[in-house]
Each structure stands twice: as C-alpha cells, then as structure tokens.
Structure 1
Amino acid sequence: MSNTTRLAVDIGGTFTDLALETGTGFYTTKVLTTPSAPQDGVTAGVAQILETAGIAAGDVDILIHGTTLATNAVIERKGARTALLTTEGHRDVLALRNESRYDQYDLNIVLPEPLVPRHLRLPIPERVDNEGKVRLPLDERAVTDTIPLLRKEKVESIAVGYMHGFVNPDHEKRTRDILAAALPDVPISLASEVSPEMREWERFSTAVANAYVQPLIQRYLTLLEAQLREMGLTAPIFMMLSGGGLTTVETARRFPIRIVESGPAGGAIFAAEVARHCELPNVVSFDMGGTTAKICLIDDFRPQTARACEVARVGRFRKGSGIPLRIPVIEMVEIGAGGGSLAKVDALGLITIGPESAGADPGPSCYGRGGTHPTVTDANLALGRYDPAAFAGGTLPLDPSAGEAALLADVGTPLGFDVGMAALGVVEMVDENMANAARVHTIESGKSFDGRTLIAFGGGGPVHATRIGEKLGIGHVIIPSGAGVGSAIGFLRAPVAYTVVRSLYQRLGSVELTAINRMFAEMTGEADDIVARGSFGAATRATRTAFMRYVGQGHEIAVELPVRDLDAADITAIRADYECEYSRLYNRVVPGADIEVLSYEVTVTTAPSAASATRNGAANGVSGPVASRPVRDPTTGAVSDWAIVPRAGLSAGTSVAGPAIITEDETSTLVGSGWTAAIDGNGYIHISWSAAS
C-alpha cells in the first residue's frame, strides 16, 4: 500500500492531529478540537491538510481515525441513559466490585459510582452454571415486564449480562431478541459478545460501558461519515483499536468500548516504528499531548500489551480506583499531565497539576479564548520555551500577559513567587509527576530503564523530554520527524487486526485438547471474518495465547501457543514456557504445583504498513542558530539566552549543543544544558546527555 494516499486523524482533548501520506510527500497539521461537535474539527482539519498537499478528497484511498470521545464520555459521565438486565441476585455486582480497596488505610475511601443506577439494574430469574448447563430457564415474562419501565425511564441503551453467559450465551441472546422486538431503536450490548471472559464484575462493567457510549459513538460516526462524503471523500474509513489494530466502522459501532484508548495506541505504534528504524529494540515512549501524558514500554519493537485497563479513576494514578474494562489494550500509564492541565496550589501549599484540563475550549489562558486559570502551556510560555507568534505554526498566536496573570493569581501570589518561579514550579511538578508515573509503571512491569532510549512525541513531549530523561537516568532521547502528531502517524503504520478472547477453564494436568482446538477454530473464524472486511485481500497471520496461573493464584501469565491444533506433546512445552515466564517475573517457580488455564486469545492481523521514516519537507543545510531568546533553565532557574534553531534547516549530521530550542510547526524540542542534539539520516533528533556517560 506504499503508493496509496493515506490520511490519519486523531482527536485529542485539545488538538485534532492529522497526517497525510501520498506517493510523493508527507504532510501534517494540527487544528483545535471542537468539543461540542468533534466532526467539525475533523472536517476542518481534513480540508486544511488536503489544501496544503494540493489534492482532492476523492484522491484519498483510506482514512484512519482515532478519538477520545468514548473515554471522555465515561470520565465526564455524559454517556447514554443505560439499563442492565442481569441474573436475579446479582444486580449489585457493579457496586460491590471485587471488594478490594485501592487504599487500605483510607477510612473515607471513594469508589466510582456505577454507570447504571441501581433502579435500572434489573434482575431476571435465570441461571446457567459454570459448565454452561441451564439450572434455571430464562423467565421470558420477566424480560417482557421490564419493557414498560425501560420506556418510562427513557432508556437509550441496554446491557445484558448473566452469570456464566460467556460459557453459554443463549439466555443473553434470547433476551436481546425479546427487547429488540419491542425497542428496535435501542442498542443492546451482550456481555457474552463484548467481553466473553470469566470474572463477572469486569465482564458486566465492560458490557455496561460499551452500552453507555454506544449511542454517542454511533451518532458521531454517522455524522462524520456524512460530512466526509459531502467533501467528496469516498475512501473506506477505519477506526484505531485500543489494542493497536485497525477495524471497520461497523465493528466500532458494535463495540465502541474497544476504541477508548485509540489515540495512545497509535502513539505506541509510532514509537515502535521509530525504534525499528533506529535499531533500538528496547525503548520508552513518552507521548504528551494537550490533556494527558502517556508512557509505554516497548521491547523487541513491540509495545507492551494487556487484557484490561481502567478509566475514570477517582484516586489519582491509583490502580483499582476506576471502572475496569476487559478489552485488549496496549499497556501504558496515562496521567492528567498535558499542555492544558490546570495548575493550582492545594490546601497544603503544594503545587498540583491536573487531572482537570482547560481542553480546547476555552483552552489555556494564553490562548485568549476565555481561560482564566494557569496551565502547563502557560508555564512553558512564561519560561520562554514558546514563541507566542509562531505557536502551532503561527495559526494560534498566544497572549503571554494573560498566561502570566493566571500564573500569578493561582500559583505565584499564594506562594510568594514571581511569574518566572511560579512557572518553573509548575513545570518541575509536572515533570516529576510524569517521571514518577514512569518509575512505578516500570517497576510494576518487572522491568527497568537500563539501556533504554526515550522516544518523545506529541505536542508537549519534545518540550519536556530531556528533563524527564534526567529524572529517569536515561541519557538518550529521540525526537522523530512529525513528533507533534505522532499518534496520527502511528495510525498510518497500524495493521488491520482483531482480537477474540474466550474463557475455558482447564487444568494443564488434565487438559481436554479437543475442546480447546474446537474453540480456537471458532475464535480464528470470528477474527478472520472481521479482518477480511478491511484487509482487501492482504495476507494475514494469527497468534494464539493462553492465560495461565498456578492453581490457587489470583492473576494469570500470558503464554504464546502454536498456531495449529494442539496435541499431547505440546503440553510439556507449554508448561515449560509458563514456568520460564513465571521465573522471569518472580525469580522462582512452584515445584509440583498444577497449572490452570483460564482463558485464550486469538489475534488475526495483516502485516503493518511498511514505510521509511517520514520527513516534513527537505532540509536546506543551514546548521547555525537563527535567533536567540531568554529562557529559564529548568535545573538552575537561571535565565540566559538560548539558541533558536528551525528544525527544517537541519541536515543529517548537524549537531546542536544545548542550551537550545529546535522549533517546528507542531512542537518545540528543548535541548537542555549538558545535552547535545544530532540529526540522523532519517531526520530524527538524537539528544545525548553528556552527564550520563
């Protein structure tokens, strides 16, 4: 697909990023997100980038899209009015959770409220056991009796989750048939389709979240498609999945919960591609946008993945304090620390950052759009890191005085600081928050930063990268081409893919291979069918994974399986692979303990889009600084003149000694004191810290 014209669009909380790849050039742009009507920001950005490239909408061969709409709807509680039909006696599963506490010593602990209020969690007499046998037939009359209440309560979406429905979904499917006949315009999400795995809390939570965002996403995708078609775009539209693959709009409409982390997933794919170009198998990606910062570990050119994530955490950065989603995701730590994150002084006299954000409307105070509270962008501007006349390529001039006034009012005056020190305090706190989140995530993953390179992108990533590197002890930072819109570029590199997960409990010592092989065939067929709708006949490959644990333990370990029918000879090898991975994580095995398999995963994917590194324009060979301006050093607090060097003028082999700022339309790269930047053959900026050697 190297000769195709591919367009990617990533909606963020503050900016909508676009990347366009044609047979002759590569183009990027950023426009402000339009929160009240996100499709308007998308179409405005598409029109702008097509005009820049000099092509028509009809020339685009494929459009790839990712959005934060689903995530924001859950976080802001702006989804549909949703009901849950569940097994009688289990209506409170969403509220009881798994009875764990994310803070054992907080007597006033706050847990997130379920997305469905109790009076809309409707019990239905029925029961299926853990082997799929019907112990109590579905009471169809009870299902029918819920319809008047659903109408009276103006329910907009319905989730159905019955005990052990992942083993035998017949009751859930029959319930859908009854409801759909009476309420044809109300979407219905089945837990057995959205998340067919054991653990009822996570399964019900995921099904409810899917139902909660489904009407919103369906409306949005319908409006977006209509507006793009009106522009003359006839190309197929694909959606980015949280697990790193692409899928059809039809699948995204059915399972919108699978796109909750679509933007961050694109960023991780982008970083993995950069790592491959630079032959660096083990890196850390650092993606800082307008609302959040994301950190992902990438080993052997593959982002770390997980089977679940949390959204809408009420305990800041605290695992277990959010709403669990049992979906395939690229695993990363995400914190409310972006350019638009609000800064304030708390009751203890400490500077705190986020997670609240100024977003795109009104945006940071310096945007001059009505914002009155300071943000990280206001602080960076006050420190001299941005040229107010050239921000976002000059399309969004900044007002330094408005940003400084907000910093003084909310941070400087309460602490007795001038504007410069208030701004420095804000930036230092946000950098420490991000570095600390990265440390915790790495430790929890059983890994370290030794030998890793930091790949920074997003609008704010290159601004903060070297300081993050200092805090983490990483002495090599890469700022790739197109860093300001890295997630959108990642969309262009993503394969068409789909993952199917199912549960089938067995012990390895008495495994029934016939049942496993039959299930794998069904799972592969389901994934093949979805991928075929968007692969255009491209070759695909499959991977199979089992999630295993020692009997009696609470968490599983992923073990890759052969992509063929398993036979008795495979069991010994599977056991050895499990114990090897267990030993890597915990430095020991449990001799003599039996192993149980809880669930299985099949992923079918096309090959990623092979491409060389992307460059925006050609370098003209100019290597010296064009100008300078006063900038406050983040480590010493001293103000001095830093060289200002346009990135477009840097040719391969050029080096820039810090302190300096390398500028481009979508971001700025800070080369701090003690760091030296060099341009490689791909146009990437490699920044090395002399103090690390």
Structure 2
Amino acid sequence: MPSQTIRLGVDIGGTFTDVVLEVAGDVFSTKVLTTYAAPEDAIIDGMHQVCAKAGVKTSDIEQIIHGTTLATNALIERRGAKTALITTKGFRDVIEMRTESRFEQYDLNLTLPEPLLPRQMRFVVEERVNAKGEVMIDLDPADVEAVVDQIAEAGFTSVAVGLIHSYLNLKHEEMIRDILAKRLPDVSVSISSEVSPQMREYERFNTVVANAYIKPLMASYLGRLEDRLRAEGVRCRIFLMHSAGGIISLQNAAEFPVRLVESGPAGGAVFAAHIAARYGLDKVLSFDMGGTTAKICLIKNQTPKTSRVFEVARTYRFKKGSGMPISIPVIDMVEIGAGGGSLAHVDALRQIRVGPESAGSEPGPACYGRGGARPAVTDADLVLGKLDPDNFAGGSITLHPDASRSALTEHVGDLLEMGPVEAAFGVAEVVDENMANAARVHAVENGEDLSDYTMIAFGGAAPLHAGRLCEKLGVDRLLVPPGAGVGSAIGFLRAPFSFEANRSVYMKLSDFDSEAIKTLLTELKAEATGFVRTCDADAPILSGFKVYMRYTGQGWEIPIDLTEDQAMTPVAEVFEARFEEDYTKLFGRPVAGMDIEITVWSVNATTPPEDVSRITEVAGGASAASDTKRPVFDPASGAFADAAEVARDGMGSGDTVAGPAAVVEAETTIIVPASRQAIRQPDGCIDIKVKG
C-alpha cells in the first residue's frame, strides 16, 4: 500500500471514539466519548483535536480509515431496518430452527435466541436447486411478483434473499433481485450468493438477513459521515476496516456491511501483529480491553488466526452456539462483555457478576458524574487506586471517587457485608478471572500453551488489568506499545487493502478435478482482486489460497493453506499431504483409509504488508525518575501498597521501574504488579517481565 503523508484512523467503540492522526510517522491521538445519536459528531470533534495537536488543516488529510461497532450494536440491540426474507418454499423457518444443537446440555429450561426476523417477515417462493447446482424446479416470475406485492404493502425497507443451494447456482436469486429493483427501486436488497456463497443454509441465511438488516442503517451513516467530512474540508477517500483485518472501499462497505461486524477488534489484532513483527515474536496473545468488551486473539508467526464463521450477540454466558452465526471471513478471537464500563451486580447466589451489560458513554460509570448510579469496572479501578481522578482521558473527564464508593457500597458491599475497597477488589478479581478463563478456553480450543506466549495489551482499560492477567495465566512477558489506549485505530493505519472471496463447491479427493479447481480458483482470484482494485488501482496484489477439508462423514472442516503453485496446478496427492499434515498437528494423527473432501475454496487478495524494522531490545538500566507515590491495591497481597508513579513520556530508553508502579499517560495507565518490573524499549514499548 502506498505510504501516505497524513492519514487518519478512527475507531468508534461502545464508550469512546478513538482518533489517530499520523503525520510523516508521528502519531497524534485523542479519545472522545461516543455520540450514539450521531456517531459522526464524535469523529469530527476528535479530528479537529488531533489536527490542532499536529498543526495541520483537515483539508491536508490524505486518507481516512474507519472501523466501527455500529453494525455489531445494531444486531445486538435489534434496531436495524424493517427487513423481509425471501426463501425457498419449505425453508421458511430455517433461521428459527437453527441447527437444533443444544449449547447447554443440562439446562432443562433452555431458550434459543430469537431470530432477527419473526415468521411473518419471512416469505417463500416455489423453486428448487439441488446440491449439484442443477435446477429441479424453475422459478416463476409471477410467483415472485406476488411476494413483492406483499412486501410493498407491508412497507419493508430492506429485503434479504436466501434460496437453497444458491451458492452453486445464483440464477434464481438474481431474478428475484431484478424484479425487486424494478418494482421497488428504493428498497435495499441483499442476496446470499453474493454476501456469503457458502454451504450450510442456516449460517448463510442468517448472514444475508444480518446484512440486509443493517444495510440501510450503515448506508445512511456512511453517507452522513462523508457529507460531514466534505463540509469540514476533507476531500480524501474514506476506507473501512473489515472483519478479516484488511481495508475495503466505502462503497463496498455500504454494500456488504456485515463484513464490518468485527472491524474494530480486527484493527487491534493487526496492531498487535505489527508489534509482534517488530519484536520477532512468533507466539503472541493479543489482549484488547476497551470500555464495553475485552477481545483476546492468538497471533502465530506475526499473523492473526482467522476463521470463516463467528457468532454475534451470544445470549447464554458467552457459550458457543448461543449467538447469531455470521458466515464471513473474520479474525478469530474470543470477545466477552468485560470492559471499563461493564456493570457489576450481585446475583441470587450472592456472587459478584460483571457484565455483559455496560454503562457505555451515556451515562457511563458512576464516577463520570453523568447520571450513572451502578458500579462499573472503572469505578472499581478508581477505588483501588489504579486511576488518577484528575487525569483520566488526558484530563478531559474528572472522575468522582465518592460516587464510585457509594455505587460499590450500595450495589455490592451492602449485600455482601463488605466495605467499598473489598467490594472493588471483588469486582476487579471477577472481571480479571473472567478474562483469564476466556483466554484459557481459547488456548485449549486451539491446542496452545499460553506459558510460551507474550501478551501485547492495548485499549483504554487493558494496561490497567494486563499485569494481573499475566499473573493468572502464567505469562512471563507483557508488552504495552505506545499508543496503546488507541491501539485499534493505529492498527487501521497498518492494515493492507484486502478482500477474501470464498465459495462452497463440494469435491472428494477420489473425484479430484484439476481443471475445475483451476477454473474455480481463477474466478475467485479475479473476484477478490476486483474488490482490492476499487481501493488502489496500481498497487501490487498478493494472493493467498485456502481450502477447507475434512474426512468424509465429519461435521466440520479445517483450513488448509496452499501456495499459489499448489493451488493453480492442483494435484490430489499434494492436497492430501497438506491436509494430513495440518490434521495431525491438531489431532495427533491422521485417520487411515478414509476419503477426504473439500467443502469451501477461498482466495484472499491483499496489497503487500508494510515493511517492519526489527528493534534492538535493551536490558534494564537506570531507574526511572519518580517524585510521587500513590497507594495502589495489590491483589496478590490483598492490601494497598505505595506504588511509584512514573510519567511514560519521561522514561528514556532502558529506564526501569520496579513494581508496584503506575506508568501514566494521557489515554491509559499501566499498572505494574509487585511481581514484575518494567523497561522502556527504544521504540517506546513498556516491556514488563517477572522480576529476576
């Protein structure tokens, strides 16, 4: 990707909107409270602040890259467009029946999440395509016209079209789209063969419904944002971060907004991968904790792990299967409702619970003084001494410790016969253990031992909790990079232009067809490259090839990476060898005597990543200057300890501070536990290790 002189990265979170301006390698940043009614207001405010810091005009900005949780929040809060689904007769209830799997085996009162669209919003047409893509029942245009009449009469503003096996033959879906465009030109239309051309109708139907549900909302927001930026003198192109860790054009984002669902967290994973490359680290645990959620991602060989299906809005203790499956390329991470704004309460069993409900930015935690009465994690951090009430968010928000103590006493302490400090300790330990447990489960699911990993922490709240998390997980090293408080927004500026095209075509190795494979992968490569060309017409483009394979009879596949030569000159024996190699890494041994099948084919087109220079690490040197100390609660001893307060900007390369300590900056605070010491590396990273 060509380097830009002045670039702006913007990340809209559930509590704060982070804005980063990069001017010839120098980074200027700010955090402003997210404005829910009009998210673009916070962006404009933040943009003016960073431009003033950098001494540049808004018209000087040459590129804007934006990530947002708006799409996710619209799905979680069920506030999308009035949407209809048109599907094949007999499949009307697929999105409600789900896969009939039980995500909690022993709950006799298990309630499945409600589908995005109730039954009266789902319509059927008589047509049928079989599993080979052959038309068994032709679609009658008159049948479609009758359904369109019902949709028009009911006043739907968006329509999702999902027909059985349309990923193999999209003729009927395109016919429905053409009729809708002719009869209802103002109605938004999404077809599953474009949004998610993959097998498994429940996931595919759910994905196209989600796309249609948020499409008018995102199109309206992106249009307003573009207009507001133009009014402020910004004339550059605007790009969006997508869930797989790359950048797409504003127009493609408006057409496929479901690809934006995890765009903010994806930026964070890219940011962590960039730091990992700088330090030559091959095993990294990325920990991103903001105001509303915490995100944990495994990064191996400086590349975040990816997946093609993930869940939004899990309703049952964050259990897999209890959410809304979205079938798109995405960086694989575990996300839980544990952020600075996550609210604490005592349940019927007299246990402290934290999240997933969040105070957000309106009204925010009790200490914000904006009307919040219930205690949040930020309130606990303030009472425990981790935060300076006069210098929160660069001094833009004054915190009120008395309000925190009152909220913790009323909602936790009085119920459990605890004082405010003990209640705050309980809340902090619960949220830290929730995050540690999520990391353990994620590591086990991927066959990894976290003791070999280095944690990279970022997000406004992560540096406050990362040291304790490392103690719980047995992780010896923690890196907190410069700009950690706005890490995801910086990650946007490090991401390449990219797009992944995938398609389900079932093939057994015993029926291996080299010519068909070459044709399919060539088409997917052209499709993915076309999307990237809408962002940059001249940049060199690299292609990555992946197939999803399994033994015949298994329910799910594993991803197998192929070189371009292996993909474009396909040989069955090579595919088999690559599958058995990766299968053995995951499960210990291959299964002899069974046929192997391929279900999904994928090509990712991307501009080359930017060059990353390795840093020369330094050992600890002189002690960092510290004129002040403040009491910070030490969870290991269960008491307050005098912690050195050190300004991050005042630390020179090699300067060392022994825990307990608080390394302070405008956007966050790094808490160094008593068991660790921190060293400032030459690139500004705070390197926290176990005391020798």
Are 2:375 and 1:363 aligned? Answer: no
Structure 1 partner of 2:618: none
* Alpha-carbon separation, structure 2, partners of 1:134 and 1:598: 20
| CA distance in 2 between partners of 1:566 and 1:623 (Å) | 54
Q: Equivalents in 2 of 1:24, 1:76: separation in Å?
A: 39
Distance 1:397 1:681 in 2: 32
CA contact (8 A) 2:6 2:23 kept: yes
Aligned to 1:512: 513
SS in 2 for 1:142: helix
Return the alpha-carbon distance in structure 2 between the equivalents of residues 109 and 533 of structure 1: 46
Aligned to 1:144: 145
Corresponding residue for residue 380 of structure 2: 379
Specify the alignment match of 1:488 in structure 2: 489
Q: How does 1:196-235 map to 2 (within 5 A)?
A: 196-235=197-236
- Alignment-derived partner of residue 472 in structure 2: 471
Matched with 1:132 is 133
What SS is found at the alignment partner of 1:319? coil
Distance (Å, rounded) in 1 between the aligned partners of 2:574 and 2:167: 28
CA 1:568–1:593 in structure 2 vs 1: closer, same or farther (change >3 Å)?
farther
SS at match of 1:534: coil
In 1, Cα distance between equivalents of 2:430 and 2:513: 55
Residue 444 (str. 1) matches residue 445 (str. 2):
yes
Asked if 2 retains the 8 angstrom alpha-carbon contact of 1:517 and 1:565, the reply is no
Q: Is the 8 A contact 1:660 1:672 kept in 2?
A: yes
Equivalent residue letter for 2:66: H
Distance of 2:39 and 2:623 partners within structure 1:
40
Aligned-pair distance for 1:153?
A: 2.3
- Cα distance in 2 for partners of 1:567, 1:33 equals 47
Shift of 1:640: 2.4
Contact 1:213 1:256 in 2 (8 A): yes
Shift of 1:88: 0.3
- In structure 2, the residue matched to 1:628 is 629
Moved more, 510-519 or 253-262: 510-519
Contact 1:2–1:610 under 8 Å retained in 2:
no
Cα distance change, pair 141–263 in 1 and its aligned pair in 2 (3 A): same
Please tell me whether the aligned partners of residues 517 and 570 of structure 2 are also in contact (alpha carbons under 8 angstroms): no
Deviating more after overlay: 499-508 vs 509-518: 509-518
Aligned-pair RMSD on alpha carbons? Answer: 1.4
Matched with 1:14 is 15
Query: Does the Cα contact within 8 Å between 1:110 and 1:314 map onto a contact in 2?
Result: no
- 1:451-504 per-position Cα deviation (integer Å, ceiling 9, x unaligned): 210111100111001100011000111100100000001000000000001011
Deviations 1:201-259 (A, max 9, x none): 00000000000110110000000000011111111111000000000001001100001
Deviation at 1:608, TM superposition (A): 2.1
Could you tell me how far apart the structure 2 residues matched to 1:516 and 1:536 are?
A: 28
Q: Which residue number corresponds to residue 618 of structure 1?
A: none
Say whether the 8 Å CA contact 1:166–1:502 is kept in structure 2: yes
Equivalent residue runs for 1:10-409 within 5 Å? 10-23=11-24, 25-409=26-410
* CA positional deviation for 1:564: 4.6
- State the match for 1:604 in structure 2: 605
Change (3 A) 1:613 1:430: farther
Question: Take 1:73 and 1:332, find their aligned partners in 2: how far apart are those partners?
Answer: 20
Distance 1:24 1:336, change over 3 A: closer
Aligned equivalents of 1:363 and 1:499: distance in 2?
38
The question of whether the paired residues in 2 share the 8 Å contact of 1:337 and 1:434 is answered with yes
The residue correspondences of 1:533-612 to structure 2 (distance < 5 A) are 533-564=534-565, 570-610=571-611
Quote the Cα distance in structure 2 between the aligned partners of 1:488 and 1:177: 39
CA distance in 1, matches of 2:381, 2:611: 36
Unaligned runs of 5+ in 1: 615-620
**TM-fit CA distance, 1:125:** 0.4
Structure 1 position 613, deviation (Å)? 9.3
Cα deviation for residue 566 of structure 1 reads 5.2
How many angstroms does 1:139 deviate by? Answer: 2.3
After superposition, what is the alpha-carbon deviation per residue over 1:409-446, rounded to whole angstroms, capped at 9, x for unaligned? 10111011111000000000000000000000110111
Could you list the runs of 4 or more consecutive aligned residues of structure 1 that deviate by over 3 angstroms after TM superposition? 564-569, 609-614
Name the structure 2 match of 1:648. Answer: 649
Q: Quick one: which amino acid aligns to residue 107 of structure 2? A: D
1:117-172 Cα shifts (integer Å, max 9, x gaps): 10111011001111111111112212111223212322121000001100000000
Equivalent residue for 1:617? none
Say which SS state the counterpart of residue 317 (structure 2) adopts: coil
**Measured at CA, do residues 444 and 24 of structure 1 come closer, stay the same or move farther in structure 2, by a change above 3 Å?**
closer
Q: How far, CA to CA, are the matches of 2:214 and 2:74 in structure 1? A: 7
Report SS of the residue matched to 2:452.
coil
SS of structure 1 residue aligned to 2:299: strand
Amino acid at match of 2:327: R
1:529/1:263 CA distance change after superposition, 3 Å = same
Q: 1:574 to 1:51 in 2, by over 3 A?
A: same
SS across alignment from 1:687:
strand
**SS, match of residue 284 in structure 1:** strand
Residues 542/459 of structure 1: CA separation in 2 closer, same or farther (3 Å cut): same
TM-score if structure 1 supplies the norm length? 0.97
Structure 1 Cα separation of the partners of residues 427 and 4 of structure 2:
46
Amino acid at match of 1:471: K
Deviation of 1:679 (Å): 0.7
Q: CA deviation at 1:623?
A: 2.3
Secondary structure of 1:337 counterpart: coil
User: Which string of whole-angstrom CA distances, capped at 9 and with x for unpartnered residues, describes residues 8-43 of structure 1?
Assistant: 000000000111111162111111100111111111
**How far off is 1:674 after superposition?**
1.4
Name the CA distance, whole Å, in 1 between partners of 2:412 and 2:420. 9
Q: 1:612 to 1:174 in 2, by over 3 A?
A: same
How far off is 1:570 after superposition?
2.4
Query: Deviation string for 1:87-128 (max 9, x for gaps)?
Result: 001100001111111011111112111111101110110011
User: Aligned partners of 1:183, 1:71: CA distance in 2, in Å?
Assistant: 27
The 10-residue stretch of structure 1 (265-274 or 519-528) with the greater mean CA deviation from structure 2: 519-528
Pick which of 237-246 and 556-565 moved more: 556-565
Q: CA deviation at 1:70?
A: 0.4
May I ask how many residue pairs the two structures share in their alignment?
685
| Residue 619 (structure 2) aligns with | none
Moved more, 425-434 or 567-576: 567-576
Tell me by how many angstroms 1:561 deviates. Answer: 2.2
Offset of 1:363 from its aligned partner? Answer: 0.6
Answer with 531-540 or 242-251: which moved more. 531-540
For residues 300 and 88 of structure 2, the distance between their equivalents in structure 1, rounded to whole angstroms, comes to 43
Deviation (angstroms), 1:569: 6.8
Distance 2:5 2:238 in 1: 14
Report SS of the residue matched to 1:535.
coil
Q: Quote the Cα distance in structure 1 between the aligned partners of 2:623 and 2:46.
A: 31
